[in-house]
Structure formats: C-alpha cells, structure tokens
C-alpha cells in the first residue's frame, strides 16, 4: 500500500473551508486523512513546512499543440510545464491539427497523455467540425471518449443560430460550451486594445465592445436554451458586468480569467513586444480592476492560463503578423499571488479559483483534499523568490511577457494521484 | 535621445528638436551651392531599408546621404509577410553584419523600426512605420513653418484628413505641440483615432471651426483604398466636407500657409489651384526634406563609431 504523507504545511482547501496547519495522508492515490500530526509509518514523507498545501490546480484553458504543432509544444512538454506550475489537470483546447472534433483524436490525446504527461490531460473537443462553425461535432461520442467540454475557442461561432444549437445540444451530454467571446466582424484586424495605447502606437484597435457584444449574445442564447455557457478569458469590465447580471437572473453562465488579464494592462504593449500580444488583448487598468473584482465576488469562477505556446520565429515578426498568445502554466501562480499580496483576494479565494471552483465548472472530481478525493496536490512556497527564464522552463516555447522577471512564490512539489511528479530541486519526474 | 537613432518625435525633447532644426539650416546652405556636396560622411555607409515602396522619401534620404558623401545603398526586400521569405529581424541582422553607420527603415507595420533598432548596433532612422510615426516628415514640416512664420511657439496648426491612419499626423502632433503650437485635428469621425485627445490635440468634425484662426493648414493624403470602404461614403462627400480650396481657406487666418506631405490627390484633399500656388508651400517642404535628412544623417551616422570602438 503506497502511502505519502505531506507533513507540516498550511492546508488550504477551500472546497471544505479548511485553512489550518495539518498533514495530508494519501494512500493508493487517494486522500485518506487531513489532520494534525498524522502517523507517518511506512509513508514517503513530503516536507511542507513553511508552505501551503493545496489541491492541485486545474487549468480550464490551455493549448498543448499536439497533435500537429509539436514544434510549439506537445503533451509531454506542456504536461511538464503544468506540473512545474502546480497544475495537476490541464484541459486542452481543440485547435490541434487535426482538430479534436472526432473521438479518435480525443482518444489519441488521452493515450499520449497516459504515456507522456506527468499530469492529467482533459481534452476539450471542438463544438463544430473543423472549427468551421457549420456542422456540430458528435458530442455524445466525444464525451464517451473523454471530452470534458466543447469549444471552438478563437474560431468564435459567429452564426448565432449555430451557437444556439451547440448550447442546446450540449445539454444532452451535460457538458459546458466554452467560448472565445469576440465579435470577429468588429475585431477585424485589431491587435491591441482600442484606446489611447492603440492611438499612440498606430496599431489597429480591438474595441472592448467586441467582447461585450458576443458575451451579451451568448448569454441571451444560454437563457433561451438552458445550456451551460462558459466564457473563456474574460478581459473587459463590460463582460464582467454582463456575467454578474446574468447570474443574478439564474442563467447558467460561468467565467474564467487569465493571469495576464489580471496582472497586465495594454501599456505593456508600448514597446511593440509581440509577447504582449494576446487575444483578447491586454486591456485598460479599469478592465483589469473589474476582472479582479469579478474574481473576488465570484462572478468569475476560475483562473485559467490560456497557455498558448508559439515558436520564437513565429513571434519575431511584425506586430500585426505575430500569432496572439503567451505561455502561462509555469508563471500563473506567482503572477496571481500578487492579488493576495495586494489584498484583492484572500488566500482561500485565490486557491478556490485554481481548484474547486474550476473543478465545478467542468464537473471534475478533483480540486479538493477531502477523504476519497484523488491525491492531486500542490505544495507552494508563497515567499520564494526566483527569476523566470523561459529558456530553462519546461515549455518548448518562450513567448512570455514575464521573461527575465523576478517572481515571488513558487510551486515546490506537485503530486498527481499521490505520486510526486515535480519537485523544485529535482525537476519533473516522469511517470 | 538622438544617440540611439530616430524612431519617433514622441521620444524627443525640445532641445533635441532645436538641435536638429539648427543643423538642418546649415545643411540647407549646402544644397544651394553649385557643387552640392561636402565630405562630412565620407567613408560612412547608409542603408535605406524600405520594406514598403516609397519613391519620394527614399530618394530624399538618398540625395541627403550623397550630398554628405556617404555611400548610400538602397535595399527593398519584398514584404516579408507576403512572400514568407526572410524575417524582418533576420534581414536587419544580415545588413547590420555589413557594418552600416545608419539604417533608414520604412515598413507598412507600426513598430518595425523599433524592433529592428532593438537588435541592431547601427542607429536606426524611422522613415515611416504604419500609422505610427514619420519623424523626418514632421521635422521638415517644422523647418518649413519656421521659414515661413519665423516661429512655432503660439501658432495654431490644423491637420485635416485621415488622422487615424496617418503617421504624418502623429509625428506632427508631437512635433508642433512640443515646440509650443496649438494643434487641432479635423476629419470625419471614422478617420479619427480613439481618444485622440490623449495626444494633446483638440479634435473637430467641422472644418470651419477647425480652421478658425489657424496659421498653418496641413492636408493629409487620403488613401484611395479607404475611400470605397467603411470609412467614407464617397470621394465627393469627403472633398466637399474636408477638401481644402481657396473658399474654405478663408476660415483660417489671412496669412495662413497650406502644407501637404505629398503626393497630393488633386481635387480631393487639396484643390488643383492650391496645390500649385501660394499660400501652399508643398515644394518648400520637399526642398527642406533633403536638408532635414542631411541633418539627421549627420547627427546619427557621423558620430564616433560603434560601442566596440568605444570599448577598445
């Protein structure tokens, strides 16, 4: 019987309102006890003194690029980056090549994950075939194969009837539809937030109304269909307000926000660094404040990375030509810990948004350290200082706006099903 | 500021601008001689790296360099995003390895000169990047206004046209406001950048109000491809509302001058008659362009050579 004891840490498990000094005992991959001074006989001991012990993080939105774009990332490298960032479950987007619109692709991803990934990989299947917005995917078969949600992500379904049908049909399988809510006819060639920054840079602007228009549309469609709408990477104050109001009216809408939309404004783009180009773009300080407020009051359920690896040669081009997106898995925790230091969120609120609240959105059994739950754990040193160097990270790509910056807070140990898969000094330990 | 190149007027202080204007005055005198050539930049190499076609600006830089005896090389790669050939940074690094003393860059995308400057040893001069900046144009415009008005301080300058897509507008807004002028911008709302007031200007949709009391009227070129799109209903309506002719010019001060960065769409943004005659000073602008670019090249390419030399 494999026993692991995580000893001497501050256990923060918002799922059960636990925040106390305790040990966590895991047997055969499952949590069996959380209590003070547990018996360590025969157990492998993980020292957590001075650290937080939390459920392993769940990322509702990442791009792992396999199959098809393994030069940017693959399931092994992305899974390792996740392990190093404290993520024990990564939900990967469907815009691979081939697109994950077929159970065979879903099964392929899960098969690769079993062999290559130190952490759990949960595929998000496409909502429409080929992400083309014309024909729905076989949702029942995809869920059978292991899909946890549906999304066409950046290929926003602009046909409102198609979007309505997707939300309707997905009810049959009880899985959410995650959307990249932008009116692409309004975004057009916009590459930075429309405002003083786009005016000064002379780059085409992407107005915040592009997001609010589609969030509004999708909320109305969720209302008439009863489907579960999940808004990906919320970036505007307007979208936060719309989601807040929809939830008051009882509409089944959830939301996520990325570390970069919580920590950075469009001012970061003033030097034309393509590693500050995202979709949706970095927004104004008022939008950032509203996103933080949305997380604090529960309007936004989860922090999701939108980890989007791109090769150096793809990013080192004209700003308008560079693909949008940045790495997120290895920097998420230290970036969002700033919200706790700045007293925008309590420790429990922050951890909830990375664990139990995210789990609830996609109906996952993880994200908690209660008896019987999977032994997925992150051990965090919230004060540890380190310098992030993407060339030394686990991702194959380097496109991070935090490259070379000093970070405060680091994941020290990550466990999946009771096995140590990452330790800060020993690195990722392959399954 | 001038030490590391000339990427935009936004980066310059008033003293930088005054130094460049003074230098350009000296350079202008060279252009008025029979033999229009001095040995100042002999042995120096200047590369005109133009990713976007441009006859006027490139020729102006080429003549400026040659009048200072520099070796001027024109390099016009096909647009990298269209041909998917070499990346802009690879092109720039390749040229840098040939040890130029200055690289003059034009690109259709904002920010490219800045990205190139980040990886180059040689100073980079922005010859126009997307809708961002066109600093030498603004400097030659300042020079032209000083010649005609004797000063910049206290003048009212009205820029008319497609402000949103104009690098000339942005650079001139920075240049004239830094030198103490009041700058107004006028055009249809579809051609006005969002929150344009952040640049320190007043925005108008009425040409009459925008011109009231103006000392300088600057018309911008309307890009033909924008005329048919969602920005304007028709050329006729634009011309009727914002085209400058003698009748509309009466809204401005009696001694107002008219400027245009060229090339002019005659009869669209500027009447045929005004294009050719006073108070328009368009050919003065072109003439000053050479002197101004000589000044900029002199200040940047003529400095003591690179870091390696300084270190040794």
> Could you read off the pLDDT tens digit of each residue along chain A, which spans 431 residues?
689 999 999 999 999 999 999 999 999 999 999 999 888 788 999 999 999 999 999 999 999 999 999 999 999 999 999 999 999 999 999 999 999 999 999 999 999 999 999 999 999 999 999 999 999 999 999 999 999 999 999 999 999 999 999 999 999 999 999 999 999 999 999 999 999 999 999 999 999 999 999 999 999 999 999 999 999 999 999 999 999 999 999 999 999 999 999 999 999 999 999 999 999 999 999 999 999 999 999 999 999 999 999 999 999 999 999 999 999 999 999 999 999 999 999 999 999 999 999 999 999 999 999 999 999 999 999 999 999 999 999 999 999 999 999 999 999 999 999 999 999 999 999 75
Partners of B196 on chain A (C-beta within 8 Å) are 199
Selecting from B129, B167, B194 the residue whose C-beta is nearest the C-beta of A199 gives B194
Q: Which fold has domain A56-361?
A: TIM Barrel (3.20.20)
Using a CB-CB cut-off of 8 Å, the residues of chain A touching B87 are 313, 316-317
- Partner residue facing A202 (CB), from B87, B89, B167: B167
Q: Is B130 on the interface with A (CB under 8 A)?
A: yes
**Contact between chains at B110 and A321 (C-beta distance less than 8 A):** no
Cis peptide upstream of residue A184 (ω within 30 degrees of 0) = no
* Contact residues on chain A for B195, CB-CB shorter than 8 A: 195-196, 199
Catalytic residue status for A97: no
**DSSP 3-state of A214:** helix
Tell me, yes or no, whether B165 and B268 share the same domain: yes
Determine whether B114 is exposed, middle or buried from the number of CB atoms within 10 Å of its CB (0-12, 13-18, 19+). Answer: buried
Q: HSE on the CB side for A91, CA within 13 Å?
A: 33
CA proximity to A402, closest of A72, A60, A85: A85
Which secondary structure element, helix H or strand E, spans residue A393, and what is its range?
A: none
Instruction: Tell me what pLDDT residue B230 has.
Output: 79
Which residue, A55, A112, A126, is CA-closest to A89? Answer: A55
Q: Are residues B217 and B128 part of one domain?
A: no
The answer to whether residue B248 neighbours chain A at the CB level (below 8 Å) is no
- Domain A3-53+374-428 belongs in CATH node 2.30.40.10: yes
Residue B311 domain flag: no
Query: How many domains does chain B fold into?
Result: 2
CB spacing of A316 vs B167 below 8 angstroms: no
Rounded distance, CA B157 to CA B279, Å?
15
Same domain flag for B184 and B78 = no
B13 and B122 inside one domain: yes
Q: Which of B107, B132, B196 sits opposite A201 (nearest CB)?
A: B132
With CB atoms and an 8 Å threshold, state whether A201 touches B111. yes
At A254, give phi and psi (nearest 5°).
-120, 170
Backbone angle region of A183, left / alpha / beta, with phi > 0 → left and psi within -120 to 50 → alpha: beta
Pick the closest to residue B205 from B184, B183, B189 (CA basis): B189
Dig out the tokens for A180 from the structure.
């990249």
Structure tokens at B305: 């050579």
- CA dist A66 and A84 (Å) reads 19
Kindly state whether residues B70 and B21 are assigned to the same domain.
yes
In angstroms, rounded to a whole number, what is the distance separating the alpha carbons of residues A207 and A187?
Answer: 7
Structure tokens at A183: 């009116």
Q: In chain A, what residues touch B130 (CB-CB under 8 Å)?
A: 202-203, 320
Range(s) of the domain holding residue B239: 135-280
Gap from B273 CA to chain A (nearest CA, Å): 32
> Which are the contacts of B50, defined by CB distance < 8 A and separation ≥ 6?
B58, B74, B75, B76, B104, B105, B106, B127
Q: In Å, how far is B111's CA from the nearest CA of chain A?
A: 6
- Clarify whether residues B144 and B121 are in a common domain: no
CB of B87 within 8 Å of a chain A CB? The answer is: yes
Task: Read off φ and ψ for residue A168, nearest 5 degrees.
Answer: -65, -50
Give contacts of A323 with chain B, Cβ < 8 Å. none
CA A310 to chain centre: 17
| Close Cβ partners of B129 (under 8 Å, ≥ 6 residues apart) | A202, B105, B106, B107, B109, B110, B111, B112, B113, B114, B167
Q: Are strands B182-186 and B202-204 parallel, antiparallel or unpaired?
A: parallel
Annotate A117-144 with b (16+ C-beta within 10 A) or e (fewer). bbbbbbbbbbbbbebebeebbebeebbe
Cis before A98? omega within 30: yes
Q: How far apart are CA A98 and CA A106, in angstroms?
A: 11
Q: Does A3-53+374-428 match A56-361 in CATH topology?
A: no
d(CA B251, CA B258) in angstroms, rounded, equals 13
Q: Is residue B312 part of a domain?
A: no
Say if pTM beats, i.e. exceeds, 0.90.
yes
The pLDDT score that the predictor gives to residue B78 is 66
Find the residue in B nearest to A272 (Cα): B111
Residue B228 has a pLDDT of: 62
Residues of A with CB under 8 A from a CB of B: 194-196, 198-203, 205, 207, 271-272, 313, 316-321
Query: Do B115 and A203 lie within an 8 Å CB cutoff?
Result: no
Mutation test of the interface with chain B: which of A191, A318, A320, A323, choosing the one with the most B Cβ atoms within 10 A? A318
Catalytic annotation, pick one of A74, A306, A381, A417? A306
- Residue B111 sits in a domain whose CATH number is 3.40.50.1370
Q: What is the DSSP letter of A14?
A: G
B233 domain residue, yes or no: yes
**What local confidence, expressed as pLDDT, does residue B305 receive?**
54
Judged by CB atoms closer than 8 Å, whether chains meet at B194 and A202 is answered as no
Residue boundaries of the structural domains of chain A: 3-53+374-428, 56-361
pLDDT tens sequence for chain B (312 residues): 566 899 999 999 999 999 999 999 999 999 999 999 999 999 999 999 999 988 899 999 999 999 999 999 999 886 544 455 678 888 888 989 999 999 999 999 999 999 999 999 999 999 999 999 999 999 999 999 999 999 999 999 999 999 999 999 999 999 999 999 999 999 999 999 999 999 999 999 999 999 999 999 999 999 877 666 778 888 899 999 999 999 999 999 999 999 999 999 999 999 999 999 999 999 999 999 999 999 999 999 987 654 444 433
Residue B102 vs residues B55, B65, B97, B105, B298: alpha-carbon distances, Å: 19, 10, 12, 10, 10
């Amino acid at each position: 019987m494999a026993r692991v004891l995580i000893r001497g840490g501050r256990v923060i498990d918002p799922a059960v309102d636990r925040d106390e000094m305790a040990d966590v005992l895991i047997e055969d991959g499952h949590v069996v006890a959380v209590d003070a001074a547990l018996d360590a006989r025969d157990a492998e001991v993980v020292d957590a003194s001075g650290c937080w012990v939390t459920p392993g993080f769940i990322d509702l939105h990442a791009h792992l690029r396999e199959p098809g774009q393994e030069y940017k990332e693959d399931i092994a490298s992305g899974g390792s980056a996740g392990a190093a960032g404290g993520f024990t479950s990564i939900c990967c987007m469907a815009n691979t090549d081939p697109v994950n619109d077929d159970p065979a692709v879903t099964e392929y991803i899960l098969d690769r994950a079993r062999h290559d990934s130190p952490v759990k990989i949960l595929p998000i299947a496409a909502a429409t075939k080929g992400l083309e917005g014309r024909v729905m995917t076989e949702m029942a078969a995809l869920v059978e194969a292991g899909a946890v949600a549906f999304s066409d992500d950046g290929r926003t379904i602009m046909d409102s009837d198609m979007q309505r049908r997707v939300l309707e049909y997905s009810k049959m399988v009880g899985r959410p539809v995650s959307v990249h809510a932008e009116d692409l006819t309004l975004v057009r060639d916009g590459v930075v937030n429309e405002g003083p920054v786009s005016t000064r840079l002379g780059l085409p602007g992407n107005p915040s109304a592009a997001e609010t228009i589609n969030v509004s549309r999708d909320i109305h469609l969720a209302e008439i269909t009863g489907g579960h709408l999940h808004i990906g990477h919320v970036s505007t104050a307007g979208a936060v307000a719309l989601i807040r109001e929809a939830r008051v009216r009882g509409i089944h809408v959830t939301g996520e926000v990325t570390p970069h939309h919580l920590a950075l404004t469009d001012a970061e783009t003033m030097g034309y660094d393509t590693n500050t180009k995202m979709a949706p773009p970095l927004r104004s300080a008022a939008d950032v404040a509203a996103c933080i407020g949305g997380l604090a009051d529960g309007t936004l359920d989860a922090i999701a990375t939108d980890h989007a690896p791109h090769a150096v040669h793809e990013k080192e081009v004209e700003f308008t030509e560079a693909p949008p997106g940045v790495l997120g898995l290895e920097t998420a925790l230290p970036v969002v810990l700033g919200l706790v230091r700045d007293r925008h969120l309590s420790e429990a609120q922050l951890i909830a948004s990375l664990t139990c609240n995210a789990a609830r959105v996609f109906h996952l059994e993880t994200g908690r350290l209660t008896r019987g739950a999977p032994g997925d754990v992150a051990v965090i040193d919230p004060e540890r200082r380190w310098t992030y160097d993407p060339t030394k990270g686990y991702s194959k790509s380097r496109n991070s706006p935090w490259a070379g910056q000093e970070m405060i807070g680091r994941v020290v140990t990550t466990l999946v099903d009771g096995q140590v898969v990452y330790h800060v000094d020993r690195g990722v330990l392959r399954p | 500021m001038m030490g590391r190149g000339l990427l935009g007027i936004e980066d310059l202080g008033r003293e930088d601008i005054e130094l460049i204007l003074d230098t350009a005055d000296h350079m202008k005198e060279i252009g008025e001689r029979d033999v229009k050539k001095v040995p100042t930049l002999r042995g120096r190499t200047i590369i005109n790296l133009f990713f976007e076609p441009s006859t006027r600006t490139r020729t102006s830089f080429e003549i400026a360099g040659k009048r200072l005896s520099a070796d001027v090389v024109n390099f016009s790669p096909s647009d990298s995003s269209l041909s998917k050939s070499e990346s802009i940074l690879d092109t720039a690094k390749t040229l840098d390895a040939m040890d130029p003393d200055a690289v003059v860059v034009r690109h259709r995308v904002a920010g490219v000169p800045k990205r190139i400057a980040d990886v180059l040893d040689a100073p980079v001069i922005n010859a126009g990047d997307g809708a961002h900046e066109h600093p030498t144009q603004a400097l030659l415009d300042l020079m032209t206004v000083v010649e005609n008005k004797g000063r910049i301080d206290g003048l009212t300058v009205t820029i008319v046209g497609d402000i949103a897509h104009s690098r000339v507008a942005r650079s001139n807004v920075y240049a004239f406001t830094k030198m103490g002028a009041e700058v107004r911008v006028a055009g249809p709302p579809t051609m006005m950048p969002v929150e344009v007031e952040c640049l320190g200007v007043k925005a108008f949709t009425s040409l009459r109000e925008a011109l009231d009391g103006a000392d300088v009227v600057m018309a911008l070129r309307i890009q033909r491809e924008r005329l048919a799109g969602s920005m304007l209903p028709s050329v006729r309506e634009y011309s009727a509302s914002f085209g400058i002719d003698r009748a509309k010019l009466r809204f401005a001060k009696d001694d107002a001058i008219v400027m245009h960065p060229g090339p002019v769409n005659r009869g669209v943004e500027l009447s045929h008659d005004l294009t050719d005659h006073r108070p328009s000073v368009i050919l003065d602008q072109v003439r000053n362009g050479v002197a101004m670019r000589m000044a900029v090249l002199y200040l940047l390419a003529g400095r003591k050579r690179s870091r390696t030399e300084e270190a040794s």
